[in-house]
Every structure is written in structure tokens, then in C-alpha cells.
């Protein structure tokens, strides 16, 4: 991964399969990168309820579901859509430069 300002290249756009989360780590921060609905999103990979990897869950309607207890989080805002999770998870800005996917974990959106 290479840094550009506060953004880090995490993968090529072509490496992201539609609706399939990909886990990356940026400066020690676990991030799930998801290509869905014509866009690319980056969300903290740890469920705020159960401390498990969200990238192992499923993506549907711009939400990622935690595989353990079924809470879903909006990929745009990080807000949970239902119990048992009540706290949002951080989401991070994404830039697409050519075929490179860049994410910044130093600024949450």
C-alpha cells in the first residue's frame, strides 16, 4: 500500500467484486472495502456490537450485515439499521484515481 497525502492505495478497482467485502489494514486500522451500487465504500471492519469482522458478512442495498448477530450497517454512514448493534462504526472517504482505490483512515466521513 502506498500513501498519497492521507490516502493509501488499498487495491485496484478491478480487484473488487461487486457486493463482496474485502478486508484491508491501513496503519493498524481494519477496513472493509466494498464495491456496490456503482460506488466504492470503506467502513471500519469491526462490528460495534460483537467485535467481529464485518467483511465476513453479506452486502445488500448499500448495507453490510454482521454475520454473527445480524446487525446491518449503512456503508455510507456507518449507522446500524437494527438491533443488537446500537452504535455506528466509522466510515472513511474513498478516492478512485485511475484504477487505484485509495482510502483515508485519518479522516472519518
Give per-residue pLDDT as tens, 26-79.
Answer: 999 999 999 998 999 999 999 999 889 999 999 999 999 999 998 999 999 999
Q: pTM for this structure? A: 0.90
Q: Which residues pair with 45 in a beta bridge?
A: none
Decide the pairing of beta strands 59-60 and 91-92: unpaired
Whether the per-residue pLDDT at 3 is higher than 50: the answer is: no
User: What pLDDT does residue 82 have?
Assistant: 83
Whether the per-residue pLDDT at 109 is higher than 70: the answer is: no
| Domains of the chain, each with CATH number or no CATH | 8-103 (2.102.10.10)
Amino acid at each position: 500500500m502506498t500513501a498519497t497525502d492521507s490516502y493509501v492505495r488499498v487495491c485496484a478497482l478491478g480487484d473488487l467484486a461487486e457486493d463482496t467485502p474485502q478486508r484491508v489494514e491501513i496503519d493498524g486500522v481494519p477496513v472493509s472495502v466494498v464495491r456496490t451500487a456503482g460506488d466504492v465504500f470503506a467502513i471500519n471492519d469491526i462490528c460495534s456490537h460483537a467485535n467481529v469482522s464485518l467483511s465476513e458478512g453479506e452486502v445488500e442495498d448499500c448495507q453490510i450485515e454482521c454475520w454473527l448477530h445480524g446487525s446491518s450497517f449503512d456503508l455510507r454512514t456507518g449507522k446500524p439499521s437494527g438491533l443488537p448493534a446500537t452504535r455506528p462504526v466509522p466510515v472513511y472517504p474513498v478516492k478512485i484515481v485511475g484504477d487505484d482505490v485509495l482510502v483515508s483512515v485519518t479522516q472519518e466521513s
